[in-house]
A and B are shown apart, each in its own frame.
Chain A
Amino acid sequence: QKEVEQNSGPLSVPEGAIASLNCTYSDRVSQSFFWYRQYSGKSPELIMSIYSNGDKEDGRFTAQLNKASQYVSLLIRDSQPSDSATYLCAVIDSNYQLIWGAGTKLIIKP
């Protein structure tokens, strides 16, 4: 059974600090990784995708991938109250379908 694990949280971070969200996956051959943000009562929204080891930056967001450790993370710099949401990690399988984590709830405290 292929799995994607995330800490359910809530993760509470002060405004302006760095929020660090983590995700581990079980399928060693996974090649593609995605972070989605889901506000309460809304649908998931794609934030970033990452396919290679290392860091990928987009504005205040940085995705980090370590395939050897089967670990992917999302850093949010200068956290804002509007970043408060549930963050979903998804990993692609051999059929190009996404395997989803249950999400980490992030709360940014003003």
Chain B
Amino acid sequence: ETGVTQTPRHLVMGMTNKKSLKCEQHLGHNAMYWYKQSAKKPLELMFVYNFKEQTENNSVPSRFSPECPNSSHLFLHLHTLQPEDSALYLCASSARLAYDNEQFFGPGTRLTVL
């Protein structure tokens, strides 16, 4: 595997379900990110981890819970979601948090909440 991988690629869940999204980066990077992308809107940064430590939580509802066990893996745990949470969830990584923060994205998980 190369680059950034995400599983699953598609997910349909009910509002009472619990599911998890997984991201893995094979680039040797130290920073990882979760973004939400909705149609016609800018990418919304959700969480940032730098060397496994969470550095950003942009007022994300508690029904989204991130986990970063090491610098290569990132999870997003989902529970009691709302239909408006349906979106493309993108994981990204970068070498470091600095001025040259070039981020590389995984393919995304298309989430539909019924």
What residues of chain A have their CB less than 8 Å away from a CB belonging to chain B?
4, 8, 31-32, 34, 42-46, 49, 51, 88, 90, 92, 95-103
Contacts and interface: CB of A to CB of B under 8 A. Distances in A.
Nearest to B105: A43
Interface of B: 40-43, 45, 48, 55-56, 90, 97-108
A94 to B, nearest CB: 10
A95 B40 contact: no
Contact of B56 (A34, A46, A95): A95
B99 A31 contact: yes
Contacts of B56: 95, 97
Contacts of A45: 105
B99 A92 contact: yes
A98 B98 contact: no
Contact of B43 (A31, A49, A51, A88): A88
B104 A32 contact: no
Contact of B106 (A34, A43, A103): A43
Contacts of A51: 99-100
> Interface residues of B: mostly helix, strand, loop or mixed?
loop
A4 B42 contact: yes
A49 B48 contact: no
A101 B42 contact: yes
A78 to B, nearest CB: 25
Contacts of A95: 55-56, 97
B99 A46 contact: no
Given A4-B42, A88-B43, A101-B42, A43 B103 contact: no
A88 to B, nearest CB: 7
A96 B104 contact: no
Nearest to A43: B105
B88 to A, nearest CB: 8
Contacts of B43: 44, 88, 90, 98, 100
